[in-house]
């Protein structure tokens, strides 16, 4: 029994069998073309928008800047985030959160920014390896100082493989507005 025969019901009139077979083939072709279109859309990723250190990155109604990056301090501050890991090097990215819309109290604002950096930032190297953020915190905490009311200066810590070179910060925009990129790439010069 052929697949085509399985999709048609036996009829006395041979013309009806042919019509049903053609409808089944059209339906199968439509499903196949629809699947191919969905696959093409899913696979055609827009390349990240390249920007320089210090340029604004707009994410919905928010904006921030990546100021600089450096190796983690040595000796490290007494925070678990900075503990060394075998085969990895710590990278600290300094970020200035420029705009934060909305009516948030201080704790909500800090929790939102920390969560955003931890979930939307990663570092890619020349080998294509991506490393997710280990932690984000207000910059003054790295120096064991009280950040006070300053909610704008942040650091994001990454532990990348020792052999990683030409590091680029990747920012994912979960809901880009018109004119905003879904992915932004910031070469860190490291």
What does the pLDDT look like over 113-133, one tens digit per residue? 999 999 999 999 999 999 999
Residue 112 to residues 20, 41, 60, 62, Cα–Cα distance (Å): 58, 31, 14, 11
What's the chain's average pLDDT? 81
Rounded Cα–Cα distance for residues 190 and 165 (Å): 7
Please report, for the domain that includes residue 113, its CATH number: 2.60.40.1240
Pairing of strands 135-138, 130-132: unpaired
d(CA 115, CA 109): 10
3-state helix, strand, coil in the chain (%, to 5): 30, 30, 40
Is the same domain home to 96 and 63?
yes
| pLDDT at site 20 | 54
Q: Which residue has the higher pLDDT, 83 or 159?
A: 159
| Residues 75 and 125 grouped into a single domain | yes
92: preceding bond cis by omega (within 30 degrees): no
DSSP 8-state symbol, 73: P
Which has the closest alpha carbon to 185: 126, 115, 123?
A: 123
Residues 39 and 73 in one domain: no
CB contact at 8 A, 137 and 144: no
Instruction: Indicate if 56 and 139 belong to the same structural domain.
Output: yes
* One domain for residues 72 and 9: no
In this structure, the answer to whether residues 108 and 124 fall within a common structural domain is yes
Predicted local distance difference test score (pLDDT) of residue 151: 85
Range of the domain at 34: 3-43
Higher per-residue pLDDT: 20 or 112 = 112
Same domain, 133 and 64: yes
Looking at the fold, whether 98 and 39 belong to one and the same domain comes out as no
Tell me phi and psi for residue 109, to 5 degrees.
-60, -50
pLDDT band at 79 (very low <50, low <70, confident <90, very high): confident
pLDDT in tens, 3-62: 444 444 555 555 555 555 555 566 555 555 455 444 444 444 789 999 999 999 999 888
| Maximum pairwise Cα distance, the chain | 89
| Other CB atoms within 10 A of residue 10 CB | 7
Same domain for 19 and 58?
Answer: no
Vertex 149: Cα angle to 148 and 152 (nearest 5): 110
Report the pLDDT value the prediction gives residue 39, as an integer from 0 to 100: 43
Tokens of 7: 């999709």
> CA-to-CA distance for 187 and 88, rounded, in angstroms?
20
pLDDT at 142: 84
Q: Report the domain count for the chain.
A: 2
Give the rounded percent of residues in the chain with a pLDDT score beyond 70.
Answer: 75
What pLDDT, on a 0 to 100 scale, did the predictor assign at position 144? Answer: 86
User: What pLDDT score was predicted for residue 43?
Assistant: 46
Residues 17 and 73 in one domain: no
Pair (20, 69) in one structural domain: no
Q: What is the pLDDT of residue 5?
A: 44
- Same-domain status, 39 and 81: no
């Amino acid at each position: 029994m052929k697949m085509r025969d399985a999709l048609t019901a036996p009829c006395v009139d041979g013309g009806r069998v042919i019509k049903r077979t053609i409808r089944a083939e059209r339906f199968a072709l439509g499903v196949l073309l629809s699947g191919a279109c969905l696959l093409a859309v899913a696979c055609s990723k827009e390349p990240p928008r390249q920007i320089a250190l210090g340029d604004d990155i707009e994410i919905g109604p928010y904006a921030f800047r990546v100021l600089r990056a450096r190796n983690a301090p040595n000796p490290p501050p007494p925070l678990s985030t900075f503990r060394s890991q075998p085969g990895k090097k710590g990278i600290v990215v300094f970020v200035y959160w420029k705009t934060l819309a909305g009516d948030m109290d201080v704790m909500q604002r800090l929790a939102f920014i920390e969560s955003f950096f931890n979930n939307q930032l990663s570092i890619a190297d020349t080998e294509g390896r991506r490393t997710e953020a280990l932690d984000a915190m207000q910059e003054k905490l790295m120096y064991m100082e009280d950040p006070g009311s300053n909610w704008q200066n942040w650091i994001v810590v990454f532990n990348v493989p020792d052999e990683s070179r030409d590091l680029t910060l990747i920012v994912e925009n979960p809901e880009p507005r018109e004119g905003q990129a879904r992915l932004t790439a910031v070469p860190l010069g490291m």
